[in-house]
Structure 1
Amino acid sequence: MNVVSGRWDKLYSSMEDIEPEIVSFPSGHSGEQLVSKIGPDLSEFSKEELSILEEITYKFGGMNANQLSELSHREEAWQHFVDSATPIDYSEAFSLKAL
């Protein structure tokens, strides 16, 4: 279990509008997908932020969790921290190649 998943259950279990659903994957495995009962309030985002979200959705929206994981594990940031108990520093986001 990694740092994020160790705390994830506490986070989404406290959110009334989020429900986990069990989904089956083509590989035969199953897992949880978090589903919101309400839509997003896009008025909270600036035009620039919405543009960034659209770009990220276009670039990564067709990928599944395994593909995203494989992509992120090719990043130097992940490779530098993989053997460490330390979370990846946010400053590493500026060196991501996939973006």
Structure 2
Amino acid sequence: MNVVNERWDKLYSSMEDIEPEIVSFPSGHSGEQLVSKIGPDLSEFSKEELSILEEITYKFGGMNANQLSELSHREEAWQHFVDSATPIDYSEAFSLKAL
């Protein structure tokens, strides 16, 4: 287990309502998926926020992690920051092509 995995395990164990489950992928690989034991409290979101969540789910819900990674790495924001240690600036969100 590497350092990142150890840190994530500590985080998982501190969440009472989240359980990691081992899942198999079509590629034959397996990995962990975090599963909530409770449903979301949608009353915390405004109508506009719920609309945005629905749009994102519609647009990206059928994609797997590799497809999402490939899509995000075609974005200019990723390409501008990939070779730097600087986090991607939030203002770059306004230029995302996939949205």
Q: TM-score range by the shorter chain?
A: 0.7 to 0.9
Residues 77 and 88, structure 1, Cα contact 8 Å, conserved in 2: yes
Q: 1:88 to 1:11 in 2, by over 3 A?
A: farther
Question: After superposition, what is the alpha-carbon deviation per residue over 1:58-81, rounded to whole angstroms, capped at 9, x for unaligned?
Answer: 000000000000000000001111
Structure 1 alignment gaps of length 5 or more: none
**Distance change (3 Å), C-alpha of 1:2 and 1:79:** farther
Q: Deviations over 1:23-52 (max 9, x none)?
A: 111111111111000000000001111011
Q: CA RMSD in A?
A: 2.7
Count the aligned residue pairs.
99
Unaligned runs of 5+ in 2: none
| C-alpha contact (below 8 Å) 1:75/1:97 kept by paired residues | yes
Quote the Cα distance in structure 2 between the aligned partners of 1:68 and 1:46. Answer: 26
Residues 3-36 of structure 1, C-alpha deviation per residue, up to 9 Å, x if partnerless?
A: 9989654543321111111111111111111100
Query: TM-score w.r.t. structure 1 length?
Result: 0.87
Larger gyration radius, structure 1 or structure 2: 2
